[in-house]
Chains A and B, each alone.
Chain A
């Protein structure tokens, strides 16, 4: 296998004592990030940057499946897509969050963990 076209990274972490698995994949048009504490994909979010010509960027985040009553999950996706965009990327983000701990501190740590291990 000379060069697989999709760069991937995976690691195990502990967030507030909970074992957390992280998998990142960089596709040509999207970044996929899977964060799981339950061993499943959990809530799946899609985030895109939308930019009018000469205008400011807006970010479009929606829940593809899973928890829709947890506003911190889209907030998490929003932070990550903004980071991708600030680093000059125009890729969209697919984020899967299978979490046990939905506290603001845990989500903040997760966003930090994703950014620390960025592949964009």
Chain B
């Protein structure tokens, strides 16, 4: 309408990729915003799944976590959102659709995501990696 002009420029950096592991197909979307990441993880299906937000706060070393759509603190992905926020130092909006009660798939998805975040230069490649594998 009035005063809209569009251009299919570069836009926001959006990374999308798929991967196969543990007899499942994983899909990932990573959208880079300012000090924020929107991440979607899908397994075998393309549903949005649960939506979590994790924010670093000055009050605690552990980022604050909110379940926005579905899910609770025990659900798949809740602690993943927290750890991704710790790793990047940014806010994480994580949409995740993984089968419940499958720690193997969850651990794989998190490792794969971190690997990607590091190669994109979003996550600090520091110690922590061991810690993550250990705590899943």
Contacts and interface: CB of A to CB of B under 8 A. Distances in A.
Contacts, number: 114
Instruction: Give the interface size class of chain A.
Output: 35 or more
Q: Which secondary structure dominates where chain B touches chain A?
A: strand
B65 to A, nearest CB: 12
Interface string B1-40: 1111111111110101110000000010101011110101
A71 B27 CA distance: 35
Given A5-B27, A27-B46, A105-B2, A41 B7 contact: no
B93 interface: yes
Interface of A: 1, 4-6, 8, 10-17, 21-23, 25, 27-30, 32, 34, 36, 38-41, 44, 46, 64-65, 94, 98, 105, 108-109, 112-113, 117
Interface of B: 1-12, 14, 16-18, 27, 29, 31, 33-36, 38, 40, 42, 45-48, 51, 53, 66, 68-69, 91, 93, 95
Given A23-B14, A64-B69, 15 more contacts: A1-B17, A1-B18, A4-B18, A6-B29, A23-B12, A29-B47, A32-B95, A39-B33, A40-B34, A64-B51, A94-B48, A94-B51, A98-B33, A113-B4, A117-B6
